[in-house]
């Protein structure tokens, strides 16, 4: 089978790793994107972001739900199909936003069909599976990237800026939380599925927190975790803590919980010169869920009353939150496929996150610190 991206762009592939192609007569219409899954991830994140990204066109969505099929046709003019295999011959890019246990087989099938792939996090169950997919992508000369969208949260972008500018000094500890108060379970595979479903908060929100910590402070050398199931009827972790020791000496303390009646700060970052404390979540998810256009002006801007504080107890000031920029992920996908830029998230970095998550599971089960 020929490279679908090359065909769509009417030019030869230019990069053996990413499977990029020079733009041609078909570029104006946008690369045809086939989306697998139209649950929360597909409906609230991927579909609207794809539709708002110049150079991409949502052409088909895999869903077995009749109401969702009507929605994708009405909202995006996309075709609803019942099986992912129907995408292989009529897509230039495949986005996998289906349940976690399906990520590896679907990504592998798309790559073997000659298509570049975006996979929602987590990429796989294990680092070994992730690296195997990355190897297949390299062998086929195709892009493989992972939707670690929280790299483009406004609050995390602010932390990155404060670290790179030196305003915090040397960072010694990162505290980061995704906490919610959901005493009554919502149901679904994320809560009721066993280990084979890759459910639970560690592999869900924990994937984001670990990715951010590694990106900010570098590789981890030790992992310690405590993981619990607190609510009746839930089979996967809903209250987990992970501590990382980074190679550079800094420590990350990470919390994910559905049973926090009082929420801690989203970020508390301690440095040798100052600290930064930020409450509340990035605004982009709530706006996407409300149906806002991610391409509209001010979409990622946070109101001043939600800004974090930088300094010490005796001397501190509010700091403007950097605009959130989820669209930059898919802009990066287009740049990779059209121009030969690196993928927005390297799959090897996603494998590094999974190595930490595996170690955290082992640490919680064995009640010990696990070296990496």
Q: What is the full per-residue pLDDT of the chain (372 aa) written as tens digits?
A: 334 343 333 332 333 334 433 333 344 579 999 999 999 999 999 999 999 999 999 999 999 999 999 999 999 999 999 999 999 999 999 999 999 999 999 999 999 999 999 999 999 999 999 999 999 999 999 999 999 999 999 999 999 999 999 999 999 999 999 999 999 998 888 888 777 788 899 999 999 999 999 999 999 999 999 999 999 999 999 999 999 999 999 999 999 999 999 999 999 999 999 999 999 999 999 999 999 999 999 999 999 999 999 999 999 999 999 999 999 999 999 999 999 999 999 999 999 999 999 999 999 999 999 999
List the CATH code of the domain at 150-325+355-371.
3.30.360.10
| 347-366 helix and 205-217 helix, angle to the nearest 10 degrees | 110
Instruction: In whole angstroms, give the CA distance from residue 315 to residue 330.
Output: 40
Query: What is the third-level CATH fold of 4-148+328-342?
Result: Rossmann fold (3.40.50)
- DSSP H or E segment with residue 251: strand 251-257
Helix (H, G, I), strand (E, B) or coil at 36: strand
Looking at residue 90, what is its pLDDT?
A: 93
- In the block, which residue shows the tokens 């990066």? 332
Looking at residue 18, what is its pLDDT?
A: 41
Instruction: In whole angstroms, give the CA distance from residue 65 to residue 346.
Output: 33
Instruction: In whole angstroms, give the CA distance from residue 254 to residue 276.
Output: 16
Ranges of CATH 3.40.50.720 domains, the chain: 4-148+328-342
**Under a CB-based contact definition with an 8 Å cutoff, are residues 258 and 182 in contact?**
yes
Instruction: In whole angstroms, give the CA distance from residue 255 to residue 270.
Output: 16
Sequential DSSP letters for 332-346: HHHHHHHH-PPPSS-
Residue 178 bridge partners (DSSP): 256
In Å, what is the CA distance from 152 to each residue of 72, 166, 205, 328, 344? 26, 20, 15, 7, 11
Q: Which of 106, 193, 208 is nearest to 147 (CA)?
A: 208
Instruction: In whole angstroms, give the CA distance from residue 6 to residue 26.
Output: 10
Q: What is the rounded radius of gyration, in angstroms, for the C-alpha atoms of the chain? A: 21
Instruction: In whole angstroms, give the CA distance from residue 141 to residue 340.
Output: 11
Looking at residue 4, what is its pLDDT?
A: 38
Q: What does the block give as tokens for 214? A: 């590694």
Instruction: In whole angstroms, give the CA distance from residue 294 to residue 48.
Output: 7
Cβ neighbours of 105 (radius 10 Å): 12
Ranges of CATH 3.30.360.10 domains, the chain: 150-325+355-371
């Amino acid at each position: 089978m020929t490279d679908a991206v090359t065909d769509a762009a009417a030019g030869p592939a230019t990069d053996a790793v990413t499977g990029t192609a020079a733009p041609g007569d078909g570029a104006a219409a946008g690369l045809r994107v086939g989306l697998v899954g139209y649950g929360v991830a597909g409906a609230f994140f991927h579909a609207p972001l794809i539709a708002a990204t110049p150079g991409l066109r949502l052409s088909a969505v895999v869903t077995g739900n009749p109401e969702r099929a009507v929605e994708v046709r009405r909202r995006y003019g996309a075709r609803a199909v019942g099986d992912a295999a129907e995408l292989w011959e009529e897509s230039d890019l495949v986005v996998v936003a289906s349940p976690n246990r399906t990520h590896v087989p679907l990504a592998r099938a798309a790559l073997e069909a000659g298509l570049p792939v975006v996979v929602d996090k987590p990429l796989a169950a294990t680092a070994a599976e992730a690296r195997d997919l990355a190897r297949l992508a390299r062998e086929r000369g195709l892009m493989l990237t992972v939707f670690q969208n929280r790299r483009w949260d406004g609050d995390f972008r602010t932390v990155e800026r404060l670290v790179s500018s030196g305003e915090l000094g040397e960072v010694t500890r990162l505290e980061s939380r995704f906490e919610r108060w959901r005493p009554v379970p919502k149901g679904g595979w994320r809560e009721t599925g066993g280990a084979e479903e890759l459910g639970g908060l560690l592999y869900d929100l924990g994937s984001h927190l670990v990715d951010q910590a590694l990106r900010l402070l570098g590789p981890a050398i030790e992992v310690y975790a405590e993981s619990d199931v607190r609510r009746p009827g839930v089979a996967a972790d809903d209250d987990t803590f992970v501590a990382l020791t980074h190679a550079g000496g800094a420590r990350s303390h990470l919390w994910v919980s559905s049973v926090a009646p009082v929420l801690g700060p989203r970020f508390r970052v301690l440095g040798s010169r100052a600290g930064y404390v930020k409450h509340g979540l990035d605004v982009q998810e709530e706006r996407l869920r409300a149906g806002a256009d991610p391409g509209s002006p001010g979409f990622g801007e946070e109101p001043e009353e939600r800004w974090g504080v930088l300094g010490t107890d005796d001397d501190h000031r509010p700091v403007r939150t950097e605009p959130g920029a989820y669209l930059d992920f898919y802009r990066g996908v287009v740049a990779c496929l059209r121009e030969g830029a690196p993928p927005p998230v390297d799959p090897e970095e996603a494998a590094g996150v999974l190595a930490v998550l595996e170690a955290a599971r082992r640490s919680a089960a064995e009640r010990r610190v696990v070296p990496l």
